[in-house]
Amino acid sequence: MKILLIGGTGIISTAVSKALLAAGHELWLINRGTHNHILPEGANYITGDINDTNAMEKALSGQSFDCIADFIVLKPEQIERDYHLFHGRTKQYIFISSASAYQKPLSHYEITESTPLSNPYWDYAANKILCENKLMDFYRKTGFPATIIRPSHTYDEYNIPLCITGWHGCYSVIKRMQEGRPVIIPGDGTSLWTLTHNSDFARAFLGIAGNPHALGEAVNVTSDEVMTWNQIYETIADALHVPLHPFYVSSLFLHQAGPFDFKSCLLGERVQTAVFRNDKLKRLVPGYQAAVPFRTGVQTALHNLLTDPALQAEDPVFDAWCDSVIDALTLTAAALKAKFPVCE
């Protein structure tokens, strides 16, 4: 198939690009060209800004595709842009939405594609919902061949998925673990969460792309492996061969006490239990099964992180903030215990 990706070099889309090339598809990408060096040879590039519609119209003149997938749409006006650019140029348009769009808090712990879309905590998720509504309106009114994919928390061989980090990624938390220092886990670490390796997402994508049964459908693409955040952090610590020293703090306190926007990522997503049903995906892609368990995926990611100094971004502000939160709550707990001794 001849497939066009808008983006193509992010955590999810890099795996998709590599998988499409490995499968022998004719791959085209529209992006700014900043990170194309990470992809193997064989892709065709249209370098530019997708928002420059006049330039894109010229670049796409005479082109048509079996499938187009946009990985970087964040707002409904970008769906309108894509509709005007690609209507009549493709047999399938795939919008990469997000499982963060699902109802928060959930009315049922299992998430299917029919779970209501409603997330009042996170503008990102709210905009994804608006994008989906706009796209399906085009599908119903004009037959625009739309498919929606909803991934959850997806990671790759260079990123460690954590519940909270600062502005510079995961290394600061990993370093705290290595040094035997406590790491903050929101809540009590018992909420259920789903992590998906990007190579598993890519295998699912290959089965959805060009699939006529996927038109007009929204599809969850996640792993079936469900873990608590305690289990996730313990698996990381085990891979580092160090004991885990968790320090539990309420999500609301973390939001109120920090310079970081934890309301969105915590209340709007990561402390909410997320157990996904992938029945529809398995009907569309017979035989699909996520193949990379977290224990295996995180070992590879940790190896890459700890052997490449370029990935080891220090985060002194986040690190100092963690220490301040831990010290403040520890002192407060000790003072309260002294003031109100246990009654016999």
Asked whether residue 222 is assigned to any structural domain, the reply reads: yes
Helix intervals (H) in 7-122: 11-22, 53-59, 76-86
Helix intervals (H) in the chain: 11-22, 53-59, 76-86, 123-142, 171-178, 198-208, 229-240, 251-257, 262, 279-284, 294-307, 316-339
CB-count burial class (<10 Å; 0-12, 13-18, 19+) for 38: exposed
Q: What confidence score (pLDDT) does residue 33 get?
A: 80
Residues written for the chain: 344
CA distance 22 to 25: 8
For Cα atoms 276, 279, 281, give the angle at the middle one, nearest 5 degrees: 95
Q: What confidence score (pLDDT) does residue 344 get?
A: 60
Mean pLDDT, contiguous 10-residue spans, the chain (344 residues): 93 96 96 83 91 93 96 96 97 97 92 96 95 98 98 96 93 97 96 97 98 98 97 98 98 87 85 94 96 98 97 94 97 93 71
* Strand residues in 21-158 grouped as ranges (E): 26-31, 44-47, 67-70, 93-96, 110-111, 146-151, 153-155
Q: What confidence score (pLDDT) does residue 212 get?
A: 98
**Which residue shows structure tokens 């498919």?**
147
Q: What confidence score (pLDDT) does residue 262 get?
A: 84
CA 140 to chain centroid: 28
Q: Which residue range is the domain that position 178 belongs to?
A: 2-326
Asked whether residue 63 is assigned to any structural domain, the reply reads: yes
Asked whether residue 76 is assigned to any structural domain, the reply reads: yes
Long-range contacts, stretch 333-339, CB < 8 angstroms, 24+ apart? none
Token pair listed for 79: 């769906």
Asked whether residue 333 is assigned to any structural domain, the reply reads: no
What backbone torsions phi and psi does residue 126 show, to the nearest 5 degrees?
A: -60, -40
Asked whether residue 337 is assigned to any structural domain, the reply reads: no
Q: What CATH number is attached to the domain comprising 71? A: 3.40.50.720
Q: How many CB atoms lie within 10 A of CB 241?
A: 7
Long-range contacts, stretch 261-268, CB < 8 angstroms, 24+ apart? 262/164, 262/186, 263/121, 263/122, 264/121, 264/122, 264/123, 264/124, 265/122, 265/164, 266/163, 266/164, 266/186, 267/104, 267/121, 268/100, 268/104, 268/119, 268/121, 268/122, 268/124, 268/125
Asked whether residue 342 is assigned to any structural domain, the reply reads: no
Q: What confidence score (pLDDT) does residue 264 get?
A: 84
Q: Report the candidate in 221, 233, 238 with the shortest Cα–Cα distance to residue 285.
A: 221
Asked whether residue 268 is assigned to any structural domain, the reply reads: yes
CA distance 276 to 337: 42
Task: Say if residues 191 and 271 touch (Cβ distance below 8 Å).
Answer: yes
Asked whether residue 260 is assigned to any structural domain, the reply reads: yes
Q: What confidence score (pLDDT) does residue 12 get?
A: 96
Q: What confidence score (pLDDT) does residue 267 get?
A: 86
**Count of domains observed in the chain:** 1
Q: How many CB atoms lie within 10 A of CB 130?
A: 16
